């Protein structure tokens, strides 16, 4: 990241096809990741999105304004070197999935969780072949190992770029099922994000909105929507 603190030194940015995929050139020279690895990308659309970020830098290079570049760097420098470990970590969300732990009261919240979360679990059964079971309260109860194995295999099947995006889809929502639902376009990314915040929304309705918590939630929402966009151009 320290290399990005320099001033803009290029005039022309281009997205091009290279051996093994696509890349971004700055005055004809290929961009590299912070680990000095060539930025080889899986799609022209991703290369164009990253090129637009580099072209938008005016003076100092600000990585905070370059989310596609950051995600691609993570896929190449981090996920590629520990794909199995990252996949296992995300697959573990299935055994404690947000959608499976339900309130036992008040009845309005119980009904709201069932109305919004049950369809996602049904979708996972029909589409992924894995049905996770619900339980009341927060006490952990292990899921069916066969269902968890199906979901784990599906996570491991993701490529490095998909897995980098999937990491945020799962960790931001707290749900492996919702991560897959977003990746598979079950509903819009924003709808899925709102489903993941059902409990928080309920609390806000009862006690009012905490401005600091709302600001944090909006940052997470933006990260979730970016992750979905990045996944789509993998």
How far apart are the two ends of the chain, measured CA to CA in Å? 23
Instruction: Give 25's Cβ-side CA count (13 Å radius).
Output: 10
The domain that contains 11 carries what CATH number? 3.30.2180.10
Same domain, 39 and 123: no
Report the domain count for the chain.
2
Separation between Cα atoms, residue 151 and residue 146, nearest integer Å: 9
CB 51 within 8 A of CB 17: no
Separation between Cα atoms, residue 50 and residue 44, nearest integer Å: 10
Q: What are phi and psi of 21, to 5 degrees?
A: 155, -130
User: Tokens 């151009």 — which residue?
Assistant: 233
Same domain, 210 and 102: yes
Same domain, 179 and 130: yes
Give the domain extent around 139: 81-232
User: Quick one: three-class SS letters along 158-177?
Assistant: CCHHHHHHHHHHHHHHCCHH
Mean of pLDDT values over 211-234: 95
pLDDT tens sequence across 104-121: 999 999 999 999 999 999
pLDDT tens sequence across 77-100: 999 999 999 999 999 999 999 999
| Confidence band of 60 (pLDDT split at 50, 70, 90) | confident
Question: Domain for residue 73, yes or no?
Answer: no
Question: Domain for residue 44, yes or no?
Answer: yes
Same domain, 99 and 149: yes
In the listed set 19, 43, 66, which residue is the last one of a domain according to the structure?
A: 66
State the pLDDT at residue 198: 98
CB 164 within 8 A of CB 222: no
Same domain, 109 and 224: yes
Same domain, 58 and 126: no
Question: Domain for residue 72, yes or no?
Answer: no
Mean of pLDDT values over 148-153: 98
């Amino acid at each position: 990241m320290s290399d990005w603190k320099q001033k803009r030194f290029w005039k022309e940015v281009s997205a091009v096809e290279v051996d093994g995929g696509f890349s971004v050139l700055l005055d004809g020279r290929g961009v590299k990741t912070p680990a000095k690895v060539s930025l080889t990308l899986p799609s022209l659309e991703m290369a164009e999105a990253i090129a637009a970020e580099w072209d938008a830098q005016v003076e100092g290079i600000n990585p905070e304004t370059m989310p596609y570049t950051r995600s691609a760097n993570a896929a190449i420098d981090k996920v590629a070197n520990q794909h199995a470990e990252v996949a296992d970590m995300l697959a573990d969300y299935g055994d404690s999935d947000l959608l499976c732990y339900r309130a036992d009261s008040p009845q309005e919240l119980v009904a709201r969780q069932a109305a919004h979360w049950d369809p996602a679990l049904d979708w996972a059964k029909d589409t992924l072949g894995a049905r996770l079971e619900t339980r009341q309260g927060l006490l952990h109860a292990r899921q069916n190992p066969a269902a968890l194995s199906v979901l784990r295999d599906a996570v491991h099947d993701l490529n490095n770029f998909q897995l980098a995006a999937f990491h945020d889809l799962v960790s931001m929502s707290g749900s492996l099922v919702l991560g897959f639902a977003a990746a598979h376009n079950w509903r819009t990314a924003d709808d899925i994000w709102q489903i993941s915040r059902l409990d928080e929304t309920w609390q806000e309705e009862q006690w009012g909105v905490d401005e600091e918590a709302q600001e944090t939630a909006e940052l997470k929402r933006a990260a979730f929507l970016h992750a979905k966009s990045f996944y789509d151009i993998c």
